Amino acid sequence: MTQHFVSTLFAVRSYFTWLPAAVVSVLMLAVVGILAFYCGNLVTSLTLRIPGSRSGALIRRIVAALRRPTRIMIALLAMIAALPAVTGFAYETEQNLRLFFLFLLVLTFGFSAIIVFRIMTEAYLNRLSSREQTDDIMIRTHQTQIRVLRRLTEIMVGIVTVASALMLFPSVKQYGVSLFASAGAASLIVGLSARGLLTNLIAGVQIAVTQPIRMEDLVIINGDWCWVEEINATYVVLRVWDWRRHIVPISYFLENQFENWTHNSAAIIGVVFLWLDYEAPMDRIREMLNEIIRTCPLWDGKVFDAQVADCNSQVMSIRIIASARNALQSWDLRCDIREKIIARIREECPEALPRARFAMMPPRPGVEAWPSELLSPKIDRPPPGSYMGPGTPGA
């Protein structure tokens, strides 16, 4: 088939002998590339007509994403096959063109492999997210592993693709061989210069395997509530509750201590403190709290208690604990409990509200209630005849 294609090009070329050879060669390559490009468009359009099954939908999505790379690869293959029929270039120029087309072909093929891998992983993640499960720890575990390993795979495929494309050129290939010959010094230099990058890449693999953090985990960084929004190969994007973002190197989570509130489960126990007077009727307050918690839809029905946790010379501290399904619901639940119990105490037992006390004691027999010095304060005056100049006290 290739021989027939080349023979056809020779026959077509014979009609343009009146033009310069270089011009004919360029025109033939351009025409072959354009025709192959549109033939590739026809092939991909026919492939997209697969019946609408579940697997067919995935194939159609992959084909739709590979439309442009497929056209480019078909055009490059056609131009490489057409080079023997192009006699208007020198031998060295023809070989350089062949290498350049192969270089573009390898890059396009590697780019297409990355696209296919990303689409397949996204399809798996979407199917995983569509499952209805009460505990999403397993889902977030798979999401973290796939996202981190996918980025590492894309980086490795990109490096291998570029290296393979460059090795097509003899000069670069010789340089690569000489570089491998001095691998000791080269690896030392590269290791020192890319130490931060390599540390984060290795940390990304450890994160994917050991799972100290997962997608949508709630962590505490610098006193902020943060959700893990994105885990990349070298850094992590954390979303703060007020929509700020923390960009943290991924190695931070292996080298530093941090809090993960959703590592094993998203459920959490919230604490509310009240400071009440010693006259507060605790039995009545517990009844009010039980009535309040039963009407709160945010309470998960597992943990609830109210105890006198501490006291001082003026008030006693009441600690109320209640569990919720996640940290956000726990925050709203605590605010709801605090607001409702204060309103109930203010309306039904105001004597429980904190107050300041002081006692007025009668004086002991023989002791004045108020010393005479306080009633008539003594004023120091200078002795008679002393000088009282300007600025002297009492002048």
Closest CA to 141 of 258, 295, 262: 262
Q: Computed over its alpha carbons, how large is the radius of gyration of the chain?
A: 40
The pair of structure tokens assigned to 377 is 């304060």
Asked whether the predicted pLDDT for residue 338 surpasses 90, the reply is: yes
Across the range 266-283, mean pLDDT stands at 90
Confidence band for 26, pLDDT divided at 50, 70 and 90: low
Tell me which residue of 267, 252, 170 sits closest to 213, measured CA to CA: 252
| Measured distance CA(110)–CA(162) in Å, rounded | 8
Report whether 319 contacts 303 (CB < 8 A).
Answer: no
- Average pLDDT over the chain reads 75
The mean per-residue pLDDT over the stretch 124-153 comes to 71
Q: Which pLDDT does position 384 carry in this prediction?
A: 58
Asked whether the beta carbons of 216 and 140 are under 8 A apart, the reply is: yes
Sequence length of the chain is 395
Average pLDDT over residues 90-97: 73
Strand locations in the chain (E): 218-221, 224-231, 235-240, 245-249, 259-260, 268-276, 299-311, 316-324
Residue 46 or 152, more confident = 152
Given a cut of 50, whether residue 134 has pLDDT beyond it is no
The structure tokens 């579940």 sit at: 54
Give the SS3 label for residue 324: strand
* Confidence band for 394, pLDDT divided at 50, 70 and 90: very low
Beta strands in 206-326 (DSSP E): 218-221, 224-231, 235-240, 245-249, 259-260, 268-276, 299-311, 316-324
Q: Quick one: pLDDT at residue 44?
A: 65
Quickly count: other Cβ atoms within 10 Å of residue 31's Cβ. Answer: 14
Does residue 170 or residue 378 have the better pLDDT? 170
CA distances for 277 relative to 187, 224, 317, 335, angstroms: 71, 34, 9, 21
Lowest mean pLDDT among 114-128, 186-200, 303-317: 186-200
C-alpha distance from residue 357 to each of 48, 92, 120, 312, 360 (Å):
84, 103, 72, 13, 10
Residue-level pLDDT at 175: 55
pLDDT recorded at residue 306: 92
